[in-house]
Chain A
Amino acid sequence: GEDVEQSLFLSVREGDSSVINCTYTDSSSTYLYWYKQEPGAGLQLLTYIFSNMDMKQDQRLTVLLNKKDKHLSLRIADTQTGDSAIYFCAESADHTGFQKLVFGTGTRLLVSP
């Protein structure tokens, strides 16, 4: 079955780069997603990558996909205190005619001044 794993916690200093890692199991995933959740809020879609791509860059965010190892990473350049949140990785799995998202348990990013 589908499974997504992430480390639970990451702590960085303001201005440093953050790298959040994720492994997934479904090799047929079409898209892989990164969502951000701030306290008291829902999930904000940050970025996503199509499974035939290796890399996607969007301003301070860089997504790297290693399909062979089923490894996905999110790099945040020049991390700011406002980036402190929980980051969820999700894989998409074709399921009875719709795209079912399977989420990891989230990585809590703490950015200190």
Chain B
Amino acid sequence: ETGVTQTPRHLVMGMTNKKSLKCEQHLGHNAMYWYKQSAKKPLELMFVYSLEERVENNSVPSRFSPECPNSSHLFLHLHTLQPEDSALYLCASSQDRNQPQHFGDGTRLSIL
């Protein structure tokens, strides 16, 4: 496999469920990112990890909890989400935190 892989591609969950999104990069990069893409809004940066250390938390509600166990994997743990959290969640990686970012295909999340 190459590039940035996200699973699952689609997720439907109730507001009381707990689920996790997974991102894996096969590019040997040291920085990873979570973005939220909502309809008719610009991409919103959520979290940034560099060398497994979180360097940015862009005022994201605590119902979103990121985890970066190593430089190749990034998770987004979800709990008690709201309907307005329905969106496409994109993961990206870069060689380091000042290099171009490469994106995965995203997880389409729907909150019932």
Separation in Å of the A7 CB from the closest CB of chain B?
14
Chain A: number of interface residues, binned into ranges: 20 to 34
Specify which chain B residues have a CB less than 8 angstroms from the CB of A33 in the assembled complex.
100
A44 touches B45 (CB 8 A): no
Separation in Å of the A104 CB from the closest CB of chain B?
6
| Complex Cα gap A44–B92 (Å) | 10
Instruction: In the complex, identify which listed stretch (A13-21, A57-65, A66-74, A94-102) lies at the interface while the others stay far away.
Output: A94-102
Specify which chain A residues have a CB less than 8 angstroms from the CB of B92 in the assembled complex.
43
A90: nearest chain-B partner, CB-CB? B43
B104 touches A42 (CB 8 A): yes
A98 touches B40 (CB 8 A): no
Chain A contact residues, majority secondary structure: strand
The 8 A CB mask of B1-35 against A (1 = contact, 0 = none) is: 00010100000000000000000000000010000
Specify which chain B residues have a CB less than 8 angstroms from the CB of A97 in the assembled complex.
55, 97
Q: Does B42 contact A (CB under 8 A)?
A: yes
Which of B59-112 touch A at CB < 8 Å? Answer: 90, 92, 94, 97-106
| Complex Cα gap A42–B5 (Å) | 10
Separation in Å of the A89 CB from the closest CB of chain B?
10
Binding site for B on A (CB under 8 A): 4, 30-31, 33, 35, 40-45, 48, 88, 95-105
Q: Give the top 4 A-B pairs by smallest Cβ distance, nearest first.
A: A98-B97, A42-B103, A43-B103, A42-B105
